[in-house]
Amino acid sequence: MTEVDLYNLSPTLRLLGMGVLIAVLPLAFTLYRNRHNPVNSKLRAMTVLTLFLTFDLVLFGSFTRLTDSGLGCPDWPGCYGSASPLGAVVHIDAAQAAMPTGPVTHSKAWIEMIHRYLATAVGFLILVLAVSSTWQRWKGQHSFQGAWQVKPFWAWLTLVWVCMQGAFGALTVTMKLFPAIVTLHLLGGIGLLVLLSAQVAWKPKLQRQEIQTRHRQLIWVAGVLLTLQIAMGAWVSTNYAVLACNGFPDCNGQWWPAWNAQGFEIWRSLGMDSKGQYLPMEALVSIHFVHRLMALLVFSFAAFMIWQFKKSNVLPGLTHMLLALLTLQLITGLSNVVLDWPLLAAVAHTGGAGAIMMTLTYMLSRSKTNRQ
């Protein structure tokens, strides 16, 4: 197999150009559709576009991981020093000939590079939002009360976040799918959805629904539990433990399988424990089973929260949305087990987790505490 430097920055400008080209087309269409609207409406439309493409990026990142394409181009940011797999045909041919079902094939290389192109496009759009919101604030066209606003602080924070996310993307490749790094990369993508959702959902306090303190506390607790469950789900996926438990609700014919804590050692290579030994099957079973237990806790708490919200008529539209997403998440999660991990359901499961987190963000952004 051809040796390749982990970092090769020579195709960086061409890669950036591809990302900008992908971003400019929908951006130009969005601005054209809103050409007669005020500045704030244009900025909001740009933010919605960025959120939409970021959600697509998270889904495609999941697709990249689930198709085992994370090392489709084993260097970063390009592919064997080229801006696309077209310039790396000889290297990919050699790698594929040496390992026909290995990590480097033509299809996996394209999947990996498309993921990088989309990530670059999202980064460019976030940069445009940060610069545009700051410019409008300086011009004084972005300060009238009662209107939707892009806050420059949040836009720049989102830009810093997406840059950190790009760094984790690079480490995902250069550290050979190190489970802790891949998990943090997925959590970073969810965090990006939260930041952009908060900006899209922003409303002046006068327009937010007043709810009791305990209701907002329920949303916060749900967000924390969901974050832990997403991290656990990412840990299952990155350790390829999805099929470690056969059957449902039992696991490999057992209601409480044997426990092995080696699967939860954080700083270790893929498939290995912290001492460099291969992980036993019991460790993968333990990873999967904890995810199931966490799912039971999260769904039970979410059901209680939805019941409380429906009883008090709190944020009815978003509550119904949350119920629908949780139902979909349950269906896709079960199908991963009973149908042997179908690709569509697995990608939808990741997307569902992101959509639920976005809904919780909307709930917080569209409400305020009733002080009475």
Which active-site residues does the annotation give? Answer: 112
The letter for the amino acid at 291 is H
Tokens of 369: 């505490």
Give residue 356's identity as a one-letter amino acid code: I
The strand ranges marked E within the chain are 7-8, 76-77, 209-211, 367-369
For residues 49 and 30, the answer to whether their CB atoms sit within 8 Å is yes
Single out the residue of 114, 95, 113 nearest to residue 105, CA to CA: 95
The whole-angstrom separation of Cα 219 and Cα 354 is 15
Torsional class of 88: left (φ above 0), alpha (ψ -120 to 50), beta (otherwise):
alpha
Say if CB 251 and CB 285 are below 8 A apart. Answer: yes
| Residue of 88, 92, 111, 121 whose CA lies nearest to 15 | 121
- Per-residue burial over 283-306, b if 16 or more Cβ lie within 10 Å, else e, is bbbbbbbbbbebbeebbeebeebb
Q: Are 54 and 121 in contact (CB under 8 A)?
A: no
Give the tokens for residue 224. Answer: 């924390």
CB 310 within 8 Å of CB 319: yes
Structure tokens at 48: 């919605």
CA distance 52 to 121: 12
Place of tokens 């749900």: 222
Residue 151: both structure tokens together? 């806050």
DSSP label at residue 10 = T
CB count within 10 Å of CB 277 equals 11
- Longest CA span, the chain: 71
